[in-house]
Amino acid sequence: MLKLRKYYKPFILSILIAIALLFVQAMCDLKLPDYMSDIVNTGIQSNGIEQVAPKAISENGLAFLKNFMENEEIEEINKNYTQINKGDKTYQAEYPNIENTNIYVLNQELEETEIEKLNHIFAVASKTMLNMIEKISNNMENVTTQTSETEKMDVSKIYEMEPILNQIPETVKNQTREEAKQMPESMLNSVGLVFTQSFYQELGMDISKIQNQFIIQIGLKMLGICVIGIIAAILVGFLGSKVGSGIGKNIRNDVFQKVQSFSSAEFNNFSAASLITRTTNDITQMQNFIVMMIRMLAYAPIMGIGALIMMAQKTTDLIWTIALACGLIILLILFLFKMVFPKIKIVQKLTDKINLVAKENLSGLMVIRAFGTQNYEENRFDEVNTEVMKTNKFINRSMSMMMPTMMFIMNGLNLLILWVGADSIANSTLQVGDLMAVMQYGIEVVMSFLFVSMIFVMWPRASVSANRIAEVLETESTIHDPKNPEPFNENKKGYVEFKKVTFQYPGADEKILENISFVAKPGETTAIIGATGSGKTTIINLIPRLFDATEGEVLVNGVNVKNMTQFELHNQIGYIPQKGNLLSGTIESNLKYGNEEASEEFVQKCAQVAQATEFIESKEETYQSPISQGAKNVSGGQKQRLSIARALIKNSPIYVFDDSFSALDFKTDSNLRKALKTHSKNSTFIIVAQRVSTIMQAEQIIVLNEGKIAGIGTHEELLKNCETYYEIASSQLSEEELKNGRKE
């Protein structure tokens, strides 16, 4: 993946924005269990009362609690509470029983630290009082201490015990107060809230209203956070798709351009099926991984670490349960990684293979039918297909165990948290709402590891695909444009010259061409003939620089082809391959492929020269007639004539025909060559042919034999002087034609 890191640079900003949004989404998701804990602990168990320090308390209640406070604490209370005389109409609506008693109201706009300090003072005092009551009485049914039955608390009963409590020695009070201070803060607050609720009831406050307001308030906050989280998730999905598709598009473009620059030597290293797989399937695998990585890889650590921090704030006693679950998940991921990764590498290679077999079958369908080998080809495809199926089945079976195992670990974690957490609740060291939040945070930690595991599942295949893509992009073409190209020699325009050229294919043991020298001039036809494997096509390939000569020089327009750009070189050459390759579109779009600006008149003229006018005009849509994919709707001869017309429309000074008349009948062949002479009399024609009749009129015929020139001359000269040419001609011409040729 790192080999392709340069493709991430244009999208850095989008990735950073996505990460920021993921942080927002994670914070929203992490906040929800905390609010849920508040609803249970405060909204349900404490009836919506948020703080132990009462916002208002009766004169009797405050005086009673002061009996269990230290002097410094009493001073703090006096400083932060203001006395309101009974009957004050300002507080009548909020505290209805103010008509019967003086009250003390908590001062407004206190800092958070002051509130926490007051909460602790009231909580310790409440717990101290409760402990002392328990010491002097074993039967407290009238003053229940169960927080689940706080509505039964009657503070008037407690006030009646004040004379008894005042008789307790100060040393006992101090000891009891110290014992209370040693209790967990959550337990102190739980006891304190019970008494706070009772003091509110004493003032005639509507506890149900307080509870409903609190729950509605928290519920609205949760709803708002959910909306923010959803918006962030949608935006992350949008940015992830944008980044993934953008990177995929750029890589696909570069791979395509790279393949376009390959010489024939590079195409020997990559099969067409493999290049198609790398350009489509491999890039898609990597693109999907990038989208998943943006959405999950950044989100999972934020979520996992955040959940652990939030969990630790609730309790540290249950952290070990998360560590145990995470350890099991890591072992599972490592096991799957070791088992599956090697197989994923094999799958991509098998995909190349199955594409190759399918491509060969589709392109050679008529040959397969002609030889009746459908069963053999079906078995060959089935063999590869079965191998792909077995490998994928192994991968999918291995991966299918991941989700059930993850769910088992997750449910086991919940049970473990409940088991350990229930004991903490029984010991009053943990509240029910906090336990529920801890369970949710535990699930989020496990889910974070699940997300990471999904990344690791996709990573091997994406990594293999990325390496295969990088392999194409890092492959340097053996054909390079020069840094300082030379200009053409205008005095030698159209000249093609070979100077002692020798060529050997990379990795081959023998030379294909050896010491080849000739000159092809404008206005003349240079023909190349020889037995199969003599090197005819290799010579043709050296002119447009599909290969570079191993030794010697190939000159076009008086300049070595290595010293000019490939674009300029190819502009000088109209190339007609033996197999006419047409692209899907129309006849006109194919003819204008090398010259979009060609006029309709010129197109028709070139088609006429190529002897293609008759069959084009016989079609209903003439030049707008469609060419199907692979040009299946035209014959071999029609393909060749259209290919010749396409090259003529390019209007190049040099035309190279690689056995481009093989599919034409003798009459069409003869008419075409005559028309070519008239149409492009100043151009250079280089023709590779198997038929002697095609090249008899050439000004120069080059005879090849085992990669060497066996003779150069005209038809008549070679019949007299070149035994190799005579053998070829004698196999195709009558004795009379041979005699006439020798006489001439």
Q: What confidence tens digit (pLDDT) does each residue in 200-258 have?
A: 888 888 888 888 988 999 999 999 999 999 999 899 888 888 888 888 888 888 888 88
Report the Cα 108 to chain-centroid distance in Å: 55
Give the Cβ contact number of residue 83 at 10 Å: 11
CA neighbor of 594 nearest in space, from 643, 561, 523, 656:
643
Inform me whether the pLDDT recorded for 146 exceeds 50: no
580-651, which class in CATH? alpha beta
Domain 490-572+652-743, what architecture?
3-Layer(aba) Sandwich (3.40)
Please report, rounded to a whole number, the percentage of residues in the chain having pLDDT higher than 70.
93
Inform me whether the pLDDT recorded for 421 exceeds 80: no
Comparing 49-58, 205-214, 271-280, 496-505, the range with the smallest average pLDDT is 271-280
Residue 312 φ/ψ, nearest 5 degrees? -65, -30
Per domain, the residue ranges of the chain are 46-205, 245-474, 490-572+652-743, 580-651
Whole-number Cα distances in Å, 492 to 398, 489, 543, 622, 664 = 69, 5, 16, 40, 33
Domains 490-572+652-743 and 580-651 share a fold: yes
What CA–CA distance (Å, rounded) separates 271 from 284? 19
Please report, rounded to a whole number, the percentage of residues in the chain having pLDDT higher than 90.
5
Structure tokens at 333: 């991921």
Inform me whether the pLDDT recorded for 725 exceeds 90: no
Whole-number Cα distances in Å, 221 to 26, 30, 218, 449 = 16, 13, 5, 28
Inform me whether the pLDDT recorded for 39 exceeds 80: yes
pLDDT tens track for 16-30: 898 889 888 888 888
142: confidence class by pLDDT, cuts 50, 70, 90: very low
pLDDT tens track for 84-126: 988 888 888 888 888 888 899 999 888 888 998 999 999 898 8
Q: What integer pLDDT is reported at residue 224 of this predicted model? A: 93
- Which stretch, 106-115, 167-176, 322-331, has highest mean pLDDT? 106-115
pLDDT tens track for 646-688: 888 888 888 888 877 776 777 777 787 788 777 777 888 888 8
CA neighbor of 155 nearest in space, from 168, 144, 169, 167:
144
141: confidence class by pLDDT, cuts 50, 70, 90: very low
Task: Tell me the three state secondary structure of residue 479.
Answer: coil
Q: What integer pLDDT is reported at residue 739 of this predicted model? A: 63
| Range 438-463 average pLDDT | 77
Q: Give the DSSP H/E element, type plus range, for residue 385.
A: helix 374-400
| Range 265-270 average pLDDT | 70
CA neighbor of 77 nearest in space, from 47, 107, 33:
107
Homologous superfamily assigned to 245-474: ABC transporter type 1, transmembrane domain (1.20.1560.10)
Comparing 43-52, 267-276, 689-698, the range with the smallest average pLDDT is 267-276
Q: Which residues pair with 556 in a beta bridge?
A: 496, 559
Q: Which residues of 616-648 are buried (b: 16+ CB within 10 A; e: fewer)?
A: beeeeeebebebeeebeebeebbbbbbbbbbbb
Q: What integer pLDDT is reported at residue 281 of this predicted model? A: 78
Average pLDDT in the chain: 81
Q: What integer pLDDT is reported at residue 153 of this predicted model? A: 59
Angle at 144 between CA 140 and CA 146, to 5 degrees: 135
